[in-house]
Structure 1
């Protein structure tokens, strides 16, 4: 089980280990964050695991073939209106009780980490990313931080409670996501359910009220050049294959020091079922080295954390070139 992993630093990818940043992220911290959202630890040979893997492979194969045949049709492409429609529904359904530890686990799917299969909820992945973000902020010490594609604001709510002196801003494409975040801010203090969901201690349970939530498009961010010391995203660029270059250029434009992107870079999804799945979903297909085209130099990266069986994610820290 995950909680028995040794407490050691998360391994960076050798090609992107030119920085000491993020080396404070530990295996045990990520394992402990993810564990409450694991429903089962089957072996790879168990029928329940093999059956689910085969079912999902069949679905991916079917969608991949359709994409290969009909992907040129505008109606088959993952355009802005498709993303807005899908996530307007998603953000309008999520409330604080969704994040409660010990409650019913939604959206169970096959996950794995270091050879251990798991049936888990993606709510665990949000906690894992929170640990990574906290440790990264402790290393970089930014004063102004932007999240691109902040959804309902969960990442920023928790980060603000850990770093109440940092000016946090979130920009979200959907009106429903922005509204969910701003409605949540009407509370006097962070509910206990969300406080317990935070994987690391909070210092100010009212700081979330000061986060600045904006509605906007990642291809044309409503901020001045260099407005933020750190710009980050968590599985937001995955939805932006159609505007990939514009979005990356905007991330680079508005950051003055660093970008931290936790996304399904093609380097991790370049073959096999993950590759077919990315194509089927019309997801982000940029490579890590592509960041250099926009003045961002990758200096540290890792994929050593719990991963969906059919979509592999990499956390990449990049520095802004002068």
Structure 2
């Protein structure tokens, strides 16, 4: 376990380096190139970076985790929301290789149809491969289920992953009961309102976004890092601006050192 001073020192060093670092401007070309290469390298496993130990914060206390732990946290939060709202149809924005959808489908076999959309071609391609050969060890860790049970449950569901842009979703109004994302908006530092409006358009009942909202950062260092890499860093008020009703916002208890995430749970007002 790394000491508190080592963890906080890491934050300080990152912040000081950021003062002199060239500010990157993120555009469609930069974002597409980054994620196209990520999903091409997945090869039937969750990305290697998910397994590397890293310093983090848990309720503000220094900890050492794997990236997979951050994903597990998101899966459980989304699963709780799904259990509360009981949707019949689910859409993930920025679904990547479909690992989130696989885990949630295993946890919720009562939902038989799941959809994901990703701007890259390699993401849906990797998702199709994962569906044919699910990464059972990782899914067992993410869900807490036995691999045999996971296999039985996934055999009864349909997961469709498509290529598409969150800013122009290829779905009719109100197509999905539940729409969610997990750090998908980070690639949209300027066009995020358009994407949230599209999410609202296709959402029939509820939505849940775990993103790098401004209110989740908690320190100048994290806000500086988001600015340096030109990630999404808007307030959760953007959900309201997009037409959602904000039901609650909660910073995630387990946080990356460099950036924080928070969960905005939203509803749709009929007739709006």
1:137 lines up with 2:85 in the alignment:
no
> Contact 1:43–1:116 at 8 Å: present in 2 too?
no
1:53 lines up with 2:1 in the alignment:
no
**C-alpha displacement at 1:191, in angstroms?**
4.3
**C-alpha displacement at 1:257, in angstroms?**
0.6
Partner Cα separation in structure 2 for residue 289 and residue 97 of structure 1 = 36
2:167 corresponds to which residue?
219
1:163-182, aligned counterparts within 5 Å?
A: 163-166=108-111, 167-182=113-128
2:37 corresponds to which residue?
89
Structure 1 runs of 4+ with >6 Å offset: none
| C-alpha distance 142-98 of structure 1, shift in aligned 2 (>3 A) | closer
Matched length: 265
1:197 lines up with 2:141 in the alignment:
yes
Partner Cα separation in structure 2 for residue 229 and residue 107 of structure 1 = 35
Structure 2 unaligned segments of length 5 or more: list them: none
> Contact 1:99–1:194 at 8 Å: present in 2 too?
no
**C-alpha displacement at 1:253, in angstroms?**
0.3
Provide the TM-score with structure 1 as the length reference: 0.76
**C-alpha displacement at 1:56, in angstroms?**
2.0
**C-alpha displacement at 1:107, in angstroms?**
3.9
| C-alpha distance 245-232 of structure 1, shift in aligned 2 (>3 A) | same
Partner Cα separation in structure 1 for residue 118 and residue 68 of structure 2 = 19
Bigger radius of gyration: 1
> Contact 1:262–1:313 at 8 Å: present in 2 too?
yes
Partner Cα separation in structure 2 for residue 195 and residue 235 of structure 1 = 19
Query: What is the root-mean-square deviation in Å for CA atoms of aligned residues?
Result: 2.3
Partner Cα separation in structure 2 for residue 302 and residue 89 of structure 1 = 32
